[in-house]
Amino acid sequence: MADDGKTGFAKFVYYIKVFHALDYILLVTFALAVVYGMRTVRPPCRTFSWNDTDISHKKGKSTFPSGTLFSMEFIPIGLYLLFEALRARLARKGEWYLDVKETDQLIDGATTRVEMLEPEGKRSEGANAAKAGRYPDESPEGNKENEPKRLMTCLEATNYWVLAHGFSIILAVCLVEILKVYAGRLRPDFLDRLKKANVTEGTDPKDLCDIAKARDGRLSFPSGHSSCAFSVCTPMALYFLSVLHAFSGASVWRTLVGLSPIYLACACAISRTRDNRHHFADIVAGSLIGMGTGLLAVAVFFRFGKEIAVLVPRRMEFVRSRGGRVLADVAE
């Protein structure tokens, strides 16, 4: 019983490490600290003119309200899981981009073979390998036996996409929150916000710095919606481009379809100028921040395959190449 308890605890610790639970906790804690910390900081109380046309626009209804933006942040998680499950379920043995094979490559002078991740190859190559007996468990019985391993590998790969997704969003949000308070730029609808708060030209200028609606009106640069949209859609676009093999130069339509999340991000960003919530420079800066964090997040957790341009989790290959275990090995 004691051994079973130790084994169970060891597996629990292993799952914590594999699924990067501590990284998720760190990201959430960091985000909450920055967001709520910045709310206690007063942005620069800039002087302004009641005749300034740049800040005298009417406050429009938000085309992409906060609820829609919230949905955009969580829907991709389900899409990552769905597409990874389909890729794992529909691919035959040797054709899935995360299938492993035995290799004679030796690591650090070792004399035993190790399992290596095999980059996704052409479908014909996988079929020829199966016929040649390279994958002995190609039979229906073998496929059924490998389903638990594929499920585990699928979950681990999906987790890396979710982790990159969360890292991209949280890093963008934290950067934007800090820059908003530091810049203190007035929104295009700043005067309209003051009027709705019953503030007039006769109000003591010192009081304007402490009015809640006036404070939000001083947080125009950079655009939070733009950064959030691109931090969500950039990793997702790279994922779609990888799934469609767009980086292999197959055809233009794959690239156009794979970039579909970027179209949505552009629409969200531009809507902020139409709604008079941000200046054009605000959305450009926010978009660049979101795109930058998205590219960084994917680069940190993924690399392109050696034989074909498919994004593969770096950590899974790193562990495998050194004789370590990935989640699928636990199912053995």
The domain spans of the chain are 2-44+54-330
Would the pTM of this model clear 0.85, i.e. be above it? Answer: no
CA 58 centroid distance within chain: 34
59-68, 72-81, 145-154, 192-201: least confidently modelled range: 145-154
Average pLDDT rounded to a whole number, residues 145-153:
73
pLDDT for 15 equals 81
Among this protein's residues, is 225 annotated catalytic? yes
207: tokens are 């009081």
The residue with greater pLDDT, 8 or 175, is 175
Average pLDDT, the chain: 81
Nearest to 44 by CA among 217, 216, 185, 233: 185
Listed ranges 18-32, 115-129, 293-307; the one with the highest mean pLDDT = 18-32
Q: Which of 20, 165, 245, 278 is catalytic?
A: 278
Residue 120: what are its φ and ψ, rounded to 5°? -65, 130
pLDDT over 90 (residue 89):
no
Among this protein's residues, is 57 annotated catalytic? no
CA distance 20 to 172: 20
DSSP state of 119: P
CA distance 183 to 200: 24
Helix (H, G, I), strand (E, B) or coil at 227: helix
Q: Which of 165, 225, 245, 279 is catalytic?
A: 225
